[in-house]
Structure 1
Amino acid sequence: MSSNSSIKCTVKKPVEVKISDTKSSLCSGLSIVDLSFPNNSEKGIQQIESISFKNAYTAFLTIKVKSEQNSSSTGGKWKMCLHRYQLMTSPHYESGSQDYFKIPSSQMLFVPQDVVSVRLILQQPSSAWNQFGIEQVSIETPTENTNEEEAISKWLQQHLNLNSTVKKKIENVEVDEVSGGLHRMWALTETVKAQQTSASLGRYEVDDSYEINLLSYT
């Protein structure tokens, strides 16, 4: 079984997208939150396993990533890995507005790898809420599998490598030979069981009476 570990990320202040004209600026119901990774700024995150957060009246979520690979080949373009994921049952009602979410990579369009930055696009088309966003953002990455079975398997492999003679003997054993030996042992056991008597034998009894000579040696 593999386990996950949360990595340190910097959540930048949300940037609200507005529709401007000559008279006033209107809210578009769209906000952008960028995430950066100070401890992995050069090589990026090897793989994102999941993204967790608490909702704060956001209706839909879109996730884009920028990886080290596409940053050089495509001029640093963002690549969408999750499109308009629904967080609230309806933008006009509170259902799901403050729930906790965990989005695994299996629900994304692809598994994000070598990620240098993440962009969260938040949408709230309803005018019922003055503010919206997400909180407590956490990104998990897979860690090395260190369960007991793998540890035992590794130890056995090392032991066989050190004892090449034992390894050669194990490899040279034929399956049919082992099976035949086990079958003969089973047949012999059944024969012995069939010949056993159920009558109780006294330790010093001979013809339902005690033998004096046997008792004298005890």
Structure 2
Amino acid sequence: MCESSRQPVAPTIKGPVYLQMGESKAQSGVCVLDLNLSSGRPVSIEELTFKNHYTAYLTVRLLRRSPEQGGLARWCTAVRDLPLMDNPHTEGGSQDYYSLHRTQMQEKPDHVVTVRLILRQPSSAWLTFSLEDIRVFPHMEPLKEPEKEVSDWLSDLILVDQHPDLEGLPDPQTVSSSIQQMWALTEVMQSNQTSASIGRFDVMTIEKDIDVLQMKVDISVK
């Protein structure tokens, strides 16, 4: 599918919510983003893209409402602790673009109503961390060509005539007989040439015999 033809779902993003530890309100290094796919019905996800902003690890959880389970919604983990930075304490990968395809997920992202992104940054070197430019692309089933019926396959076949048209051709037996006569005359001529010299009268006689035989062959062919 062409990139320009894909249209992402417009989710409602809730958060980010940074979790704190107890009453001290110290940062726990965990942030939660909820993407509500408010299209009125569940969405099957093809791809999830985003730009990182100093998040070290990403976990993706899906709230799925399967019609096979009577519409009951259940959470599942599709991606667990995916590294987004080479090292939480260094810049590598901190602002890169990422793409998560459905084939990279542990659970099939079908019939999803909410996507929960759990971000972790164990390093205290960064004051804030999050994800930006988040896009959710729906899964599109490929179009299938209609299956052909047996009658359609038979109509596509080209019938080949196994019997060639012999009309207008000479009789094979007649042609074979004429060729044998010419071969016999040739043998006689070769025998006469080796046994004795041929006079002028003999040559004329042989030429006459050849002409007569040739006329027979022509008549047979016609």
TM range (shorter): 0.5 to 0.7
8 A contact 2:79–2:105 mirrored in 1:
yes
> What is the identity, as a one-letter code, of the residue corresponding to 1:119?
R
| Among 66, 70, 82, the residue aligned to 1:85 | 82
How many angstroms does 1:172 deviate by?
8.7
8 A contact 2:47–2:101 mirrored in 1:
yes
Show CA shifts across 1:152-182 (max 9, x none): x66x96xx99xx6x76443695xxx69x89x
2:22 matched to which residue of 1?
Answer: 20
User: 1:61 aligns to what SS in structure 2?
Assistant: strand
**Aligned positions of 1:66-215 closer than 5 A:** 66-69=63-66, 76-145=73-142, 168-170=154-156
How many angstroms does 1:143 deviate by?
2.7
How many angstroms does 1:26 deviate by?
1.2
User: 1:18 aligns to what SS in structure 2?
Assistant: strand
Using the alignment, how far apart are the partners of 2:103 and 2:155 within structure 1?
Answer: 45
> What is the identity, as a one-letter code, of the residue corresponding to 1:12?
K
Using the alignment, how far apart are the partners of 1:144 and 1:25 within structure 2?
Answer: 47
8 A contact 1:52–1:137 mirrored in 2:
yes
8 A contact 1:66–1:79 mirrored in 2:
yes
User: 2:108 aligns to what SS in structure 1?
Assistant: coil
Using the alignment, how far apart are the partners of 2:48 and 2:112 within structure 1?
Answer: 13
1:9 matched to which residue of 2?
Answer: 11
> What is the identity, as a one-letter code, of the residue corresponding to 1:115?
V
Residue correspondences, number: 161
User: 1:38 aligns to what SS in structure 2?
Assistant: coil
2:42 matched to which residue of 1?
Answer: 44
Using the alignment, how far apart are the partners of 1:33 and 1:71 within structure 2?
Answer: 28
How many angstroms does 1:128 deviate by?
0.2
User: 1:5 aligns to what SS in structure 2?
Assistant: coil
2:212 matched to which residue of 1?
Answer: none
Q: Which moved more, 1:8-17 or 1:84-93?
A: 8-17
8 A contact 1:61–1:121 mirrored in 2:
yes
Using the alignment, how far apart are the partners of 2:73 and 2:18 within structure 1?
Answer: 22
How many angstroms does 1:142 deviate by?
2.7
**TM-aligned CA distance change 1:19 to 1:54, over 3 Å:** same
How many angstroms does 1:73 deviate by?
6.9
**TM-aligned CA distance change 1:54 to 1:169, over 3 Å:** closer
Greater RCO between the two (CA within 8 Å, min separation 6)? Answer: 1
**TM-aligned CA distance change 1:167 to 1:124, over 3 Å:** closer
* Structure 1 unaligned residues grouped into runs of 5+: 182-218
8 A contact 1:70–1:76 mirrored in 2:
no
8 A contact 2:84–2:93 mirrored in 1:
yes
**TM-aligned CA distance change 1:94 to 1:68, over 3 Å:** same
Identity of aligned residues (%): 32
How large is the Cα RMSD of the aligned pairs? Answer: 3.4
TM-score (norm 1): 0.63
Higher Rg: 2
